[in-house]
Structure 1
Amino acid sequence: MTDSTPLSPAGDRHFDGLAEKFAGSLYGGPRGALRLAMLDELLPAMLELDGQPVLDVGGGLGQLSAWFARRSHAVTLLEPAGDMLEQARQALGGWSVTFLQAPLQALPEHAPGPWSLIACHAVLEWLRDPRAAFATLADGLAPGGQLSLMVFNRDALRMSNVVKGNLQKALDDRLEGTGKRQRLTPISPLCHDQIVDWSREHGLSIRAVAGIRIFHDYLRQPPANEDDWQRLVALERRYCQTEPHWRLGRYLLYTLVKESEHPSRENSR
């Protein structure tokens, strides 16, 4: 299956035909291994988990759904790419997981909730209008509900370009990908201030934030052996929530809580 039409009619980057690429070069390599290792440590610390149902939006191959399912959560996995969803179905067939083929924007029709826990990891940066998608996620939360949100960090992308010598690109702030090539550069990389502003707009509070891969992506050489890998993981764990290091994580991981209906939204009804 080829990736001939990577953009949806709405201009979002979907990943039909790329399940093997994700399974191999991403999750089969050190970047994916480190991301999953950090989530394994951070999610129990950043979320209040009591076996509640979870909606995994843009769940891809199902790694995050598997993490929750192993901890006795009933999971609903929403994913637009058919081959991704099929691989997730095969991998998670023995768990309490419901599979829905739909994009994030269709959440109100397919899985309206309200949900006490929504996970949306590495999705918003692939959408043409991430702000509207954020609003959809916020609307799907129950009062007191938690949103585990992970986004691709624009500031880290800028730093990475500087390290690589792409100085003019960084000066011009030309950081977005086109979404039309095999190289997976997000079309809407996000910064922390955007998440702060959007959370305020929709009555969400930021309970916790962490950086994922705050050192790994700036190494001149990958770890040469297992001992170096363990030292790197130890560094990532020690500083992932420490100023200023978390701000340069390749991904930013948030726990956002919907304390109550936003007053402005109530007044507009």
Structure 2
Amino acid sequence: MHPNDKLINAEFKSYQLTQAGDRYFDGLADKFSRSLYQAPRGELRLAMLDYLLPQMLTLSHQKVLDVGGGLGQQAAWFAERGHRVTMAEPSADMLNYAKTWHRDAKTLPEEAITYLQAPLQQLTQHVPGSWPLITCHAVLEWLGDPQAALATLSDLLAPGGQLSLMVFNRDALRFSNVVKGNLEKALSDRLAGKGKRQRLTPISPVSHAEIEQWSADNGLVIDAVAGIRVFQDYLRHSPATPAETETLLALEKQYCRYDPHWRLGRYLLYTLIKPEIVE
């Protein structure tokens, strides 16, 4: 067998959604690592989170619930900054990858991260209570019912607590398809992936208007919003030199929170606040 045959066969391997219509990523930890975090897109995404989270969140070493923690980058980011993190992830493969990476890391405080294999829908059973800080990054777009998921996150959040929510932007996906020449696909709004292959087009991309409505429905206030990868996905040519890469990052940082640019970020990053109860 040719070495590339395994990659080709994996690309066309069929995956099943859960009974709830969600997409898990068992068997894809290595692909995620290569495609999302060892590639320019993933590097820029992490660089922008590193830049934006201290601006958009009030951080005071509070405990953190990291929902759908994936390969563990966000859990590590908070643990390195003195937070006690509970990382919940439904995929055993992804969770084991994160555990191994965290164990081998030299910068993580010992026992700073607790691991839980569970889907978002079950977290009110496993980790109920009032969490002062919840992160849920790039999760809602892989769920069959992202609206219900936001309601669950609201239930888990303490009064006065902060939810750092990042979603795959449906409007940016449409714009990207037009730029690529997929005009009929964009016109008919056939944007969502099917979740049956290795390709990482989300099954439930979300719009800013939906986040506004769902937040209001659950008594959450949008405190801050930013776009991540506002320009990168629309470039005709990728940066060819380290200097061009630095210039692109500077552009992303400069305009990520300015209207209208943030609205076309590949991802939208929100800080949602649950108001204090006034008696």
What TM-score do you get using the length of structure 1 for normalisation?
0.95
Residue 174 of structure 1 corresponds to which residue in structure 2? 190
1:57 maps onto 2:57 in alignment: no
**Percent of aligned pairs sharing the same letter:** 66
Q: Which runs of 4+ in 1 moved over 6 A?
A: none
1:118, 1:108 → 2: CA distance? 13
**Residues 153-195 of structure 1, C-alpha deviations (whole Å, 9 max, x = no match):** 0000000000000011111011111010111110100000111
**Superposition deviation, residue 113 in structure 1:** 2.2
2:250 to 223, 230, 234: 234
Distance 1:261 1:176 in 2: 38
Whole-angstrom CA distance in 2 between matches of 1:5 and 1:105: 21
Equivalent residue number for residue 265 of structure 1:
none
SS in 2 for 1:92: helix
CA distance in 2, matches of 1:32, 1:78: 21
AA aligned opposite 2:100: Q
Partner of 2:125: 109
User: Please, which of 145, 158, 163 is the counterpart of residue 142 of structure 1?
Assistant: 158
Q: 1:4 to 1:171 in 2, by over 3 A?
A: closer
Matched to 2:25, the amino acid is F
Query: Offset of 1:6 from its aligned partner?
Result: 3.6
SS in 1 for 2:86: strand
TM-score scaled by length of structure 2: 0.91
**Structure 2 Cα separation of the partners of residues 159 and 261 of structure 1:** 41
For the 8 Å contact 2:14–2:197, the answer to whether it is kept is: no
Q: Residues of 2 paired with 1:190 and 1:24: CA distance? A: 25
Name the CA distance, whole Å, in 2 between partners of 1:41 and 1:155.
23
Q: Is the 8 A contact 2:68 2:89 kept in 1?
A: yes
RMSD: 1.5
Cα distance in structure 2, aligned partners of 1:69 and 1:233 = 25
Conserved in 2, the CA contact under 8 Å of 1:57 and 1:79? yes
The answer on whether the counterparts of 1:6 and 1:15 sit within 8 Å (CA) in structure 2 is no
Q: 1:267 matched to which residue of 2?
A: none
Unpaired stretches in structure 1, ≥5 consecutive residues = 263-269
2:176 aligns with 160
2: CA distance between counterparts of 1:11 and 1:39?
28
SS at match of 2:135: strand
Q: Distance in 1 between matches of 2:245 and 2:181?
A: 26
1:124 to 140, 143, 153: 140
Question: How many Å apart are 1:95 and its aligned residue?
Answer: 4.7
Aligned residues: 262
Alignment partner for residue 246 of structure 1, among 249, 262, 265?
262
